[in-house]
């Protein structure tokens, strides 16, 4: 089509921790959901990876904001700034004399209220979207994993993101039972910070806690492949002298136990509410894990042992929601009933 450049399409997974944008079926952007703003002018100084480098290291003239909290927009202006900046980074409208007709599909938590849904829609429209469609994250995750969501068959997905954990049973193109709890990667980071203060007497920041989570994060003590213990350096709470602490995956498994137990309780609630025919489908095909939290070592084993149902970690779980959002964007007529 001669004027195809005037019609642009983007699939956005607007996450609490990371924003992923798919364009033409490929990842065009994958950056932290964070903005650095100049306090005096209110202008955006940096976003994504650049802003993440500044996070927790700023002076009073600059502030870093994570516009999303618990999967929903907490700061409307910063969110709009961030979405607009990311769309620009992808290169839309940059070299064109005309403003392209931009169609956007955004993944949102299934437990979002009407006000929260409106905030995402408004932010996306203000950032340049002419047509904005929303899809619930567990449905997007199921599409991204490659499940046939329209079949008369029960599929269960547990998507552990940065701010929320979404649990849903899907059949015939709809969500039959769903639960959305505000436990996710951010809660795990807080748990690690608290544990380091209590057990090692060290004060650490969000970024160091994140590194510990990636380096030695686990949910069971007995792993087939154990990661090397990690050395963490920080100020002693009492003396402010620098101290080193050796952190093992067993310690992290212990400190994350409470948050993982909350996720287990929600999975149980969903299973209890699932109609028996769909329940037998789920037992047969297993439960699928997606989102960054699915990468915690031993999570699939712990959940499989707890529920006596096989849990499978999706391929590239971090991008499952974004892939599914892209799938919905590519086949709008087929998946129109899944979008709003």
The CATH number of 4-139+321-338, from 3.40.50.360, 3.30.420.40, 3.40.50.970, 3.40.50.620, is 3.30.420.40
Domain-wise residue ranges, the chain: 4-139+321-338
Do 149 and 155 contact (CB within 8 A), yes or no?
A: yes
Q: Which two tokens stand for residue 166?
A: 């979404």
Spatial distance between the Cα atoms of 66 and 48, rounded to a whole number of angstroms = 10
pLDDT, tens digit (0-9, with 9 covering 90-100), for 70-124: 888 888 899 999 998 998 888 765 545 556 688 899 998 888 889 888 988 998 8
Spatial distance between the Cα atoms of 230 and 42, rounded to a whole number of angstroms = 39
Instruction: Tell me the average pLDDT across 55-61.
Output: 90
Q: Which two tokens stand for residue 255?
A: 């400190």
Handedness of CA 267, 247, 68, 70 (dihedral sign): positive
pLDDT, tens digit (0-9, with 9 covering 90-100), for 161-170: 999 999 999 9
pLDDT, tens digit (0-9, with 9 covering 90-100), for 220-255: 999 999 999 999 999 999 999 999 999 999 999 999
Spatial distance between the Cα atoms of 110 and 139, rounded to a whole number of angstroms = 9
Spatial distance between the Cα atoms of 308 and 237, rounded to a whole number of angstroms = 43
Which stretch of 5-19, 30-44, 208-222, 278-292 has the lowest confidence by average pLDDT? 5-19
pLDDT, tens digit (0-9, with 9 covering 90-100), for 188-232: 999 999 999 999 999 999 999 999 999 999 999 999 999 999 999
CA triplet 129, 123, 17: central angle to 5 degrees?
110
With tokens 């620098």, the residue in question is 242
Do 290 and 141 contact (CB within 8 A), yes or no?
A: yes
What mean pLDDT value characterizes the chain? Answer: 91
Spatial distance between the Cα atoms of 267 and 259, rounded to a whole number of angstroms = 13
Spatial distance between the Cα atoms of 321 and 71, rounded to a whole number of angstroms = 13
| Strand ranges of the sheet holding 18-23, from the earlier edge strand across to the other edge | 26-32, 18-23, 7-14, 101-108, 131-136
Write the DSSP symbol of residue 340: -
pLDDT of residue 2: 40
């Amino acid at each position: 089509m001669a004027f195809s450049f005037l019609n642009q399409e983007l699939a956005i997974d607007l996450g609490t921790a990371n924003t992923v944008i798919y364009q033409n079926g490929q990842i065009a952007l994958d950056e932290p959901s964070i903005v650095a703003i100049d306090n005096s002018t209110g202008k955006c100084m940096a976003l994504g990876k650049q802003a993440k480098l500044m996070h927790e290291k700023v002076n009073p003239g600059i502030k870093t904001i994570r516009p999303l909290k618990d999967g929903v927009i907490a700061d409307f202006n910063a969110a709009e700034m961030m979405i607009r900046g990311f769309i620009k980074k992808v290169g839309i409208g940059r070299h064109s004399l005309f403003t392209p007709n931009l169609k956007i599909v955004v993944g949102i938590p299934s437990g979002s209220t009407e006000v929260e849904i409106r905030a995402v829609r408004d932010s996306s429209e203000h950032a340049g979207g002419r047509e904005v469609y929303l899809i619930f994250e567990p449905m997007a995750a199921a599409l991204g994993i490659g499940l046939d969501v329209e079949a008369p068959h029960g599929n269960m997905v547990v998507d552990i993101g940065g701010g929320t954990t979404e649990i849903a049973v899907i059949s015939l193109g709809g969500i039959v039972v769903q639960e959305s709890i505000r436990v996710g990667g951010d809660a795990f980071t807080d748990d690690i910070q608290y544990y380091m203060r209590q057990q090692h007497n060290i004060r650490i920041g969000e970024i160091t806690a994140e590194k510990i989570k990636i380096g030695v994060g686990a949910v069971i003590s007995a792993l087939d492949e154990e990661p090397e213990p990690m050395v963490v350096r920080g100020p002693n709470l009492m003396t402010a002298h620098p101290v080193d602490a050796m952190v093992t995956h067993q310690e992290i498994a212990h400190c994350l136990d409470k948050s993982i137990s909350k996720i287990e309780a929600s999975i149980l609630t969903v299973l209890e509410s699932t109609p028996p025919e769909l329940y037998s489908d789920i037992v047969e095909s297993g439960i699928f894990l997606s989102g960054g939290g699915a990468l915690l070592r031993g999570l699939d084993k712990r959940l499989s042992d707890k529920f006596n149902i096989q849990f499978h970690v999706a391929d590239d779980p971090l991008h499952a929601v974004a892939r599914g959002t892209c799938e919905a964007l590519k086949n709008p007529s087929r998946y129109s009933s899944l979008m709003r």
